[in-house]
Amino acid sequence: MSQTNVLVLVGSLRAGSVNRQLAETAVSAAPEGATLTVFEGLADVPFYNEDIDVEGASIPAVDALRAAASDADAFLLVTPEYNGTIPAVLKNAIDWISRPYGVGAVKDKAVAVISASPSGNGAKWAHEDTTKAVRIAGGKVVEDTALSIGGTGALFGELHPRENAEVLAQVSKVVSDLVDASKQLVNA
């Protein structure tokens, strides 16, 4: 059985963000036969612009993102909510990996979304917008495995999310379902 490689993209650039910690929790919850890797270079990726996305152009941060996305069998997108929507850094990453349109690295690959915020809303609007953007980009969103976590301040306090047994179980299920969906797409 081959290894399933999942690329994790985090919509918060802050090192100590809850969303970064949820991505770390997902990495630690990887089932046997799966490897999750958090992409670390989103802050260096320029805003998508067709004038610079031309054949022969080499933009190191974009090249690294696209290479990681091409090597991925599936994607886990972990997002906070900024002003009621998806953070620009995550939307930008989706834009880059969706090009060229119709054959980008995300096309026909399984995608799961985890959202979290201090509000009771659980970043559901960002979750919806992320799901919409990645679906339009060609990704196959695993609908039944969606996870939105609200009230993160009260829920975690000073603890890392992986120290909360319920959240760890929920994140583990998302990861497991994503890996299973990826295998089903490969075998379809």
Where are the domains positioned within the chain? 2-185
Burial 148-168 (b: 16+ CB within 10 A, else e): bbbebeebbeeeebbebeebb
- Its pTM stands at 0.96
Per-residue pLDDT of the chain (188 residues; tens, 9 = 90+): 589 999 999 999 998 999 999 999 999 999 999 999 999 999 999 999 999 999 999 999 999 999 999 999 999 999 999 999 999 999 999 999 999 988 999 999 999 999 999 998 889 999 999 999 999 999 999 988 889 999 999 999 889 999 999 999 999 999 999 999 999 998 87
CATH number of 2-185: 3.40.50.360
Q: Which helix (H) or strand (E) holds 94?
A: helix 88-97
> CA-to-CA distance for 175 and 117, rounded, in angstroms?
20
> CA-to-CA distance for 18 and 61, rounded, in angstroms?
24
Q: What pLDDT is stored for residue 146 in this prediction?
A: 85
The residues near 5 (Cβ < 8 Å, ≥ 6 apart) are: 34, 35, 37, 71, 72, 73, 74
* DSSP string across 9-74: EES---TT-HHHHHHHHHHHTPPTTEEEEE---GGGSPPP-TTT--TT---HHHHHHHHHHHH-SE
> CA-to-CA distance for 158 and 139, rounded, in angstroms?
35
Q: Which helix (H) or strand (E) holds 131?
A: helix 124-136
Q: What pLDDT is stored for residue 9 in this prediction?
A: 98
